[in-house]
Amino acid sequence: MGDDQKNDGGNQGPFNFNFRNNRFALVLLAAVFGIFVLLVSSPGRQLATEISYSDFLNHVAQGRIESVTIIDQSEIRGRMRGTFGETSVFQTRIPYFDDQLIRTLREQNVPTTGRRGTIPTWQLLLNLFPWVIGIFLIWFMMRQMQGSGNKAFAFGKSRARKYADDGKRIVFADVAGQVEAKYELQEVVEFLKNPAKFTRMGARIPKGVLLVGLPGTGKTLLAKACAGEAGVPFFHMSGSDFVEMFVGVGASRVRDLFEQGRKAAPCILFIDELDAVGRTRGAGYGGGHDEREQTLNQMLVEMDGFDTKDGVIILAATNRADVLDPALLRPGRFDRQVVVDMPDNAERAAILRIHTAKVPLSPQVDLSRIARATPGCSGADIANLVNEAALYAARANRELVQMDDFEEARDKIMMGVARRSRVFTDEEKRKTACHEAGHALLHYYLPNADPLHKVTIVPRGRALGVAFSLPEKDTYSHGKGWLTDRIKIAYGGYIAELMFYAETTTGTQADLAQATELARRMVTEWGMSSLGPIAYGQEDQPIFLGKEIAQHKGYSEEKAREIDAAIQTIATDAFGDAERILHEHRGELERLTDALLERETLTDAEVRTLLGLPERADAMDLRSTDENAPDGSDPDHSS
């Protein structure tokens, strides 16, 4: 078995050779080549010397021709004597009609015969040999390309891969959280295992189930778990695998995929990233006959056409359900949409337990606290966090992963590796510290702001410093008070620079953009201004989604001026409040700036101790007893 694996493992390219499978081809090629060599080197056949017709007539006149054979009145072959009496074979072409030829030969008593022209077997084989070699090479290349998995000559064949149960089967127990999604999919599994249970009641299982969720939430993992639970054939394919540069290939692959499913029914067909092929038809400039739309049309027919068969369940995953063609989402096709949402606090803790099962953790590591410190993170984000923490521990030659490693991993994932080698002047460093202190201090004097987690002036990525805020709990919507406080915090760095330097730096760009965007959306989308509960304008849509190419504001120029005024009012009021708070606590701002210059990074507990503020009852600091915060982070001072 080891030898077979080695041989198979080496066949990665389209022309790699497998000696075991192509032994017959080698033998055949060797035999053909051997026959060719024998024919060419056959001693019983003497090659003829080509001479001109005039030389032939001279030889006849000199009596040197012993015998001739006239072939089809156009060619002469015969034997002649040489100067020293040796005999040789010659041949010549008759270039014109010579009515004196026979008389001349008779006068010289040259034995003459005639025959129709035939091609000797050896010459026929010799002429066919290049064709045989060419056909053999073409056949051999096709065989190799088919065998290597490239399928270069099978464009229309489906690229669906069958799920292999190699002892690492994934089941629902391996998927943390997503209780509602697993409940929906459990019906599909039950139907595939025991269809009579449903058909007895006259029920019809959904033909298609669409998994919808943000990237990294576990859509593909749920599909694998569904296959593992059902124990039926499972074919998986990406939406982009259907579309090629060749016209008709996508539709052909759809037909082949569903044909495989019908033969293996009951089974599950899983199409990942369905939006790659299922976008709204008639979109963009290409009209309705491009290759992608032909593929989608074929998929619609296969899912609910005349030639359908029970027992074939189609699972699909996408994070852009809004761009899918409505015909895909109607009953009879994708009857059910399963929302795979971001995990909550309890689900994040469960995901952490799964991903840290094989990671040696320090006893001080509290997974529940790490889960609380990662609101808004998907399952993929948490898996990456655990992996980065393990890598940091390995680099430090530690036997166990510490809380410090999780903190460093969180910072790296959010902003990049710390650039401690970058050299700043003392003036630049103090401006950055002042800027970040302005952001950080406002967290303690604004009633609706999230608690500060950490403030640092260590540059990471494009940010020269950052102030992290950490929500106390998972939040799915925000009120006007939280939004206005976020605008005030965004202005904190700008105001602090004005207070101490009477000018600002380019590092305020991201802060101003964030504050302006929040104010604009409060006015135009969320009805949080004096203009009332009205949504103004339309969200931009890419033209290839079939939407209108020209975007309309939906309001007059006069209303646009009112919107601008409302945005200006929100921003100005927030700026004024933030400026008042920082001026009232100027001494604390200076102490916080000096502490950042000295220590570079301060946690919430350290800031409270420095400013004489009471401790938080639920304080979280990953480096000691608490944790991290990715969501609500505020990469404020970016260059």
Assigned architecture for domain 426-638: Up-down Bundle (1.20)
Between 146-155, 159-168, 235-244, 463-472, the lowest mean confidence (pLDDT) is in 146-155
Q: Which CATH number fits domain 345-415: 3.60.15.10, 1.10.8.60, 3.40.50.720, 1.10.3720.10?
A: 1.10.8.60
- Check whether 119 has a pLDDT greater than 80: no
Residue of higher predicted confidence among 479 and 254: 479
Assigned architecture for domain 161-339: 3-Layer(aba) Sandwich (3.40)
List residues bridging with 324 in a β-sheet.
Answer: 279
Q: Would you state the structure tokens that stand for residue 60, as one six-digit string?
A: 């006849």
Q: Would you state the structure tokens that stand for residue 135, as one six-digit string?
A: 């056909």
Between 232-236, 238-242, 388-392, 553-557, the lowest mean confidence (pLDDT) is in 238-242
The 8-class DSSP code of residue 167 comes to S
- Check whether 494 has a pLDDT greater than 90: yes
Average pLDDT of the segment spanning 617-637: 44
Do residues 475 and 450 lie in contact, with contact meaning Cβ atoms separated by under 8 Å? Answer: no
Most confident option among 2-6, 10-14, 36-40: 36-40
Summarised one tens digit per residue, pLDDT across range 171-220 is 888 888 888 888 888 888 888 778 778 778 887 777 888 999 888 888 88
Summarised one tens digit per residue, pLDDT across range 460-489 is 767 788 887 877 777 778 899 999 999 999
Nearest to 468 by CA among 633, 585, 312: 633
Do residues 470 and 451 lie in contact, with contact meaning Cβ atoms separated by under 8 Å? Answer: yes
Summarised one tens digit per residue, pLDDT across range 65-76 is 888 888 877 888
- Can you tell me the distance from the alpha carbon of 86 to that of 68, in angstroms, rounded to the nearest whole number? 17
3 state DSSP class of 30: helix
Do residues 69 and 115 lie in contact, with contact meaning Cβ atoms separated by under 8 Å? Answer: yes
- Can you tell me the distance from the alpha carbon of 303 to that of 293, in angstroms, rounded to the nearest whole number? 15
pLDDT score, position 245: 54
Do residues 137 and 314 lie in contact, with contact meaning Cβ atoms separated by under 8 Å? Answer: no
* Beta strand pairing call for 463-469 and 633-638: antiparallel
Q: What is the pTM of this model?
A: 0.65
- What amino acid is encoded at 195 in this protein? P
- Can you tell me the distance from the alpha carbon of 639 to that of 636, in angstroms, rounded to the nearest whole number? 10
Q: Which residues form the catalytic set?
A: 436
List residues bridging with 99 in a β-sheet.
Answer: none
Distances (CA, A) of 467 to 2, 441, 535, 596, 597: 56, 10, 32, 12, 15
Nearest to 451 by CA among 220, 324, 631, 581: 631
Q: Would you state the structure tokens that stand for residue 505, as one six-digit string?
A: 């730096």
- Check whether 617 has a pLDDT greater than 80: no
Distances (CA, A) of 381 to 135, 222, 310, 347, 409: 54, 17, 38, 13, 11
pLDDT score, position 519: 94
Do residues 606 and 523 lie in contact, with contact meaning Cβ atoms separated by under 8 Å? Answer: no
Do residues 236 and 161 lie in contact, with contact meaning Cβ atoms separated by under 8 Å? Answer: yes
- Can you tell me the distance from the alpha carbon of 578 to that of 585, in angstroms, rounded to the nearest whole number? 11
Other residues' Cβ atoms within 10 Å of the Cβ of residue 29: 16
Class of the CATH-defined domain 49-118:
alpha beta
Distances (CA, A) of 62 to 95, 109, 112, 504, 626: 21, 12, 17, 116, 119
Distances (CA, A) of 612 to 457, 588, 618, 620: 22, 10, 18, 18
With a CB cutoff of 8 Å and minimum separation 6, the contacts of 193 are 230, 231
The 8-class DSSP code of residue 324 comes to B
Average pLDDT of the segment spanning 588-596: 91
**Residue 208, phi then psi, degrees to nearest 5:** -135, 140
pLDDT score, position 329: 86
3 state DSSP class of 279: strand
* Beta strand pairing call for 452-456 and 267-272: unpaired
